[in-house]
Amino acid sequence: MSLRMPEPDAAVLARRAEIVRALSAIVPGEGVISHEREMRPYESDGLTAYRQLPFLVVLPETTEQVSRVLSYCHEHGIRVVPRGAGTSLSGGALPLADGVLLGMGKFGRVREIDFENRAAVIEPGVTNLAISQAVAHEGFYYAPDPSSQIACTIGGNVAENSGGVHCLKYGMTTNNVLGCEIVLITGEVIRIGGKHLDAEGYDLLGIITGSEGLLGVVTEVTVRILKKPETARAVLVGFPSSEAAGECVSRIIGAGIIPGGMEMMDKPAIHAVEEFVHAGYPLDVEALLIVELDGPAAEVDHLLARVEAIARECGATELRASTSEDERLLFWAVRKAAFPAVGRISPYY
């Protein structure tokens, strides 16, 4: 059986050629991709079970180009799907067979860093990790940290309202985005929020965050940056069952302790990531908790002792606290490698 796509008819080819010419005039150079082979990398996001070749791919570089592309598509009844890095697992960047895929990867600049007001203004193609790297020299960081933070972009984070291991204490993307520049499907450019205090009226920024690009295309984001805590330590806690680990989570929160981060993995996930990263995770447990406490050193030591006591009451069979910053980062690096680790052992389709 042939796996080739059916050949489009003459009318479709003529319409495609017309649209390519129009959009190439707006985004010159290599800004429009129309050949099947070159569009294949855009046919899905991280959820590769669902694939669809787009009608066209357009890669703008400026807000003006985005505005003109959307205006043209609106005028001619062409649907548009915005795309960031394509790392999400929700199908949020899945193309349409009759639609333009608008890739925002060329929007990769950090426009402004305002340490005094604890804010950074960035373009949507900047990766999540790059924000923290851009402000690290002054002891700041950006709190939301999805597992794909080395690759996922802030535009996609806004579209998906991404979280991460530290969202328990510091919130999701919606809690850390202060403002956005957005282009509507008509081509109109609007600004919502900014470095000022929240405006009265409807929470439009809250509606935009998590809307998967359905309400507009984000071309600039203002995010909140935080001062790094004085101390942060993580502890690995192994349990004989997932139920025991869940009970430990409940008791930690019930005790009024809000960890900087807390994640749980079952036995298959533990084995997958340990074989991938080799960080010394215990392999004889059924469930593993990673609990991180941050703040002043004395507070962290006190809370760590309380967490360890609660864990023992819940039947923990393994307890290992980080003794250095490198070890703490290694604990989390292993957890964040879960997706590629599982992908490594998954059958290929």
Q: What is the pLDDT of residues 85-129, one digit of tens each?
A: 998 888 889 999 999 999 999 999 999 999 999 999 999 999 999
State in Å, rounded, how far the first CA of the chain is from the last one.
16
For residue 3, pLDDT over 70 is answered with no
Q: What gap in Å lies between CA 336 and CA 19, rounded to an integer? A: 41
For residue 348, pLDDT over 70 is answered with no
Predicted confidence band at 6 (pLDDT cuts at 50, 70, 90)?
Answer: low
pLDDT tens-digit profile of 169-202? 999 999 999 999 999 999 999 999 988 777 778 8
For residue 147, pLDDT over 50 is answered with yes
Tokens of residue 129, six digits: 């990790």
Look at the pTM and tell me if it is higher than 0.75. Answer: yes
230: which residues sit within 8 A by CB, 6+ positions away? 295, 296, 297
SS3 assignment for 100-129 = EEEECCCCCCEEEEECCCCEEEECCCCEHH
Better pLDDT: 273 or 129: 129
pLDDT tens-digit profile of 197-206? 777 788 899 9
